[in-house]
Structure 1
Amino acid sequence: MQRTIFNTPLITPLLRQVASLLLKLHGWRVIYDQSAQDAKKYVLLGAPHTTNWDGYYFILAALKLKLVPQWMGKDNLFKFPLGGMMRWFGGIAVDRSKANNLVEGTVNAFNRSEELIVAVPPEGTRGKAERWKTGFYHIARGAAVPVVCGFINFPKKELGLGPAFRMGENLEAELKRFRDFYADKIGKFPELYTPPI
């Protein structure tokens, strides 16, 4: 496993203390469902995703909860001069211009790992989208791992981990579960949120 902000000896324990302090100073509360905290391998949703601030708070919460997540981002985020830093923050570059089998590659990564958290923003963008991208569902089904509902709620200043859901065969039924869970979670710019449909 590559060294990231979440698992670098000596540095990460210090950063966890800094993250807890920053969350307290910002007035944010991190909450979690025990089913998510106990899981070792899962797909972590990040929603609603309406601003770059989501990433900042995601990193603080992950440090506080002692998670070691990896996340997928557009490959142009990983170019010089910021590429190394993005990887250290747990990023995995995704080239959207090429037809690559991201689902299969991620399933294989889960199958090779004893512990792995892959964070996915199902909206695929900070702006308004037509619908959720469903790659997370196919990854979870293919790797037989749960999907954990990572969330942020700006009005209440809450973020964290919701329940861990095992994915059934009916995609529409699963999307309804996510729609119900995220119904009261509000992003910084609510008009940009794309609910699961």
Structure 2
Amino acid sequence: MKKIARFILFTILGWKFDGDFPKSPKKYVVIAAPHTSWVDFPIAILTRLSSGIMINFIGKASLFKGPFGFIFKALGGTPVDRTKNNKFVDAIIDIFNSKEEFRLGISPEGTRKKVTTWKTGFYYIAKGANVPIVMATLDFGNKKIKISKPFYTTDNKEKDIAYLRGFFLNVKGKNPELS
């Protein structure tokens, strides 16, 4: 599957890697931005398959219903009910703590719409599970998938978020007006 994904991603679609998902540590949170189009998802899945590193993801519960819900689950997805206050961060921390190997991909924007501030659940998950954050971006302007080295949070949330956001400067999403 890895060879097929690489052929599609690199040869047919013309993308390039700048970095790769780390094999170690075996647990981390991947934040991917900007998230501006449904096209981000298949490119992200091809990226994950091309790397050979399993990265799970979460999505709104409605994606996991109907005729295609089983596909999202088979790809490593978990539905999230965003209508309830269900201690989501604590539940994800428990998953990290219960596994020897777990990587979770999250969009810090939480939507494909334009946002000025990120949701910070990813930050509290990483901090609470004592795992690093790996930044990943799909730069449609340059057809480049850029992946960072692991970043460990500090005790200065504002400085950490500013550093993380800096990784995504000058990146063009599929719909740049939403970046």
Q: TM-score range by the shorter chain?
A: over 0.9
Question: CA separation in 1, counterparts of 2:132 and 2:120?
Answer: 14
Superposition RMSD on alpha carbons, in Å? 1.3
Partner of 2:6: 20
Partner of 2:85: 99
2:86 matched to 1:122?
no
Partner of 2:33: 47
Secondary structure at the counterpart of residue 149 of structure 2 = strand
What amino acid maps onto 1:192 in structure 2?
L
Question: CA separation in 1, counterparts of 2:137 and 2:26?
Answer: 19
Which segment is superposed worse, 157-166 or 101-110?
157-166
Question: Are 2:20 and 2:51, in contact at CA under 8 Å, matched by a contact in 1?
Answer: no
2:174 matched to 1:188?
yes
Partner of 1:12: none
The 5 Å alignment of 1:33-72 reads 36-72=22-58
What amino acid maps onto 1:40 in structure 2?
K
Secondary structure at the counterpart of residue 148 of structure 2 = strand
Question: Are 1:61 and 1:160, in contact at CA under 8 Å, matched by a contact in 2?
Answer: no
What amino acid maps onto 2:135 in structure 1?
C
Residue deviations 1:119-155 (CA, integer Å, cap 9, x gap) = 1000000111241000000000000000000111111
Partner of 2:16: 29
Runs of 4+ in structure 1 over 3 Å off = none
Question: Are 2:32 and 2:105, in contact at CA under 8 Å, matched by a contact in 1?
Answer: yes
Question: Are 1:149 and 1:162, in contact at CA under 8 Å, matched by a contact in 2?
Answer: yes
TM-score by length of 1: 0.86
Identity over aligned residues, as a percent? 38
Report how far residue 33 of structure 1 moved.
5.2
Secondary structure at the counterpart of residue 150 of structure 2 = strand
Structure 1: runs of 5 or more not aligned:
1-14
1:86/1:174 CA distance change after superposition, 3 Å: same
Report how far residue 160 of structure 1 moved.
4.1
Partner of 2:161: 175
Partner of 1:11: none
Question: CA separation in 1, counterparts of 2:158 and 2:62?
Answer: 32
1:90/1:160 CA distance change after superposition, 3 Å: farther
Question: CA separation in 2, counterparts of 1:65 and 1:164?
Answer: 16
Which segment is superposed worse, 25-34 or 76-85?
25-34
What amino acid maps onto 1:83 in structure 2?
G
Question: CA separation in 2, counterparts of 1:106 and 1:49?
Answer: 21
Which residue of the other structure, out of 107, 111, 130, is the alignment partner of 1:144?
A: 130
